[in-house]
Amino acid sequence: MIISIASGKGGTGKTTVATNLAASVNGPVQVLDCDVEEPNAHLFLRPNFKNRQTVLTPVPDIDLDKCDGCKKCMDICRFRAITVIGDTVLTFPELCHSCGGCTAVCPQGAIAETGRELGILETGSVNGIEFVHGRMRVGEAMAPPLIRRVRDCTWSEGLTLIDAPPGTSCPVIAAMKDTDFVLLVTEPTPFGLHDLKLAVEAVKILKIPMGLVINRADMGDEKVNAYAQSEGVPILMTIPFDRQIAESYSRGELFARTLPEWKARFQALFDDIALLAEKEGNEK
């Protein structure tokens, strides 16, 4: 089963929920940190990294000796990553989406592919948790291809938890797509509610069953609860604002490890998710 943890708004507690859940469930679990722009899960799980590889995406490499200046590459590129000026071909690798159109269209076979660095992929483990994350190169714009590379590491069976990036656009979709359940984490504030609504709509487009965790549950108003009820999104856990929890988070600690009652609650959360995902699977 693959559970993705997402939120819409940033800073609501995705990583807190993902890492504490991973530390609480019985048996082997895999954590994929797909927030490749700002990966944080490793700061709490502290895995021993064993493997690190650079992830590249293909971009055009022009052989000017073969090029006859026909401009077909420039015409096919919708991302303006190639310009032909006279005898020269300029490429803008940072604009390239790696579609391969220019290589395929070039009648002279003058365009090969070389790599642009997207970032690195690191794998490791700790206390029965298999860990994978991507770290996007600072200056790189496109997160989805690196997110897909992290997702390629998904176990074929067993439990996988995905820590998704904030927002509702392409990086989040890349992290949530084809998962079995989306656990949304929000806070009961106007910002939290507004962005939760966007996230719920995104999950509906993907047709994935979902549930909700309300973090800092006593800090805002009641509107998130009312919204969740009206949408039929089950509230699976509430975490109160507790200065002790906030301070332990600031130090990179998992409160499911220091406060045993929370470990039991995260185990119960997992059981609820498994039931809901199974029910939805049967209905399909």
Partner 1 sequence: MTELVILSGKGGTGKTSLTAAFAAMTENCLLCDADVDAADLHLLMQPVIRQQTDFGGGGIAQIDPQRCTGCGTCIDMCRWSAIGDGFIVDEIDCEGCGVCVDFCPEQAIDFPTKVCGQWFISDTRFGPMVHARLGIAEENSGKLVSLVRREARNLAEKRNIDLIITDGPPGVGCPVIASVGGATSALIVAEPTVSGIHDMARAIELCRHFKVPVMVCINKYDLNVENCTTIEKMTRDGGLPVVGRVPFDPLFTKAMVQGKTLPEFDGNGTASDHVRQVWAQIMRTAAMVADESTTISALNN
Q: Is 32 exposed, middle or buried (0-12, 13-18, 19+ CB in 10 A)?
A: buried
Which residue, 50 or 204, has its beta carbon nearer to partner 1? 204
Least distance to partner 1 from the beta carbon of 51, Å? Answer: 21
Q: How far is the CB of 208 from partner 1 (least distance, A)?
A: 12
**Site residues (vs partner 1, CB under 8 A):** 8-12, 15, 35, 37-38, 40, 43-44, 76, 78-79, 97-101, 104-105, 136, 138-143, 165-171, 173, 177, 189-191, 194-195, 198, 201-202, 205-206, 219-221, 243, 246-247, 249-252
- Shortest Cβ distance from residue 49 to partner 1 (Å)? 15
Which residue number, 159 or 164, has a Cβ lying nearer to partner 1?
Answer: 164
If the CB atoms of residues 97 and 257 are measured against partner 1, the closer one turns out to be 97
- Taking the CA atoms of 254, 237, 13 and 134 in sequence, report the sign of the dihedral they define: positive
Q: List the one residue out of 147, 128, 153, 187 whose CA is nearest residue 57.
A: 147
Backbone angles phi and psi of 209, in degrees to 5: -65, 150
Min CB(183)–partner 1 separation in Å:
17
Least distance CB 157 / partner 1 (angstroms)? 22
Phi, psi torsion values for 38, nearest 5 degrees:
-140, 70
Give backbone dihedrals phi and psi of 213, rounded to 5 degrees, phi first: -115, 130
246 vs 187: CA distance, rounded Å: 14
- Give the separation between CA 165 and CA 6, rounded to whole angstroms: 7
Based on CB atoms, which residue is closest to partner 1, 71 or 177?
177
CA distance 203 to 14: 16
Which lies closer to partner 1 via its Cβ, residue 16 or residue 24? 16
Compare residues 56 and 274 and give the one whose CB is closer to partner 1: 56
H or E stretch at 33 = strand 29-33
- Note whether 134 and 42 are within 8 A (CB): no
Least distance in angstroms from the C-beta of 274 to partner 1? 26
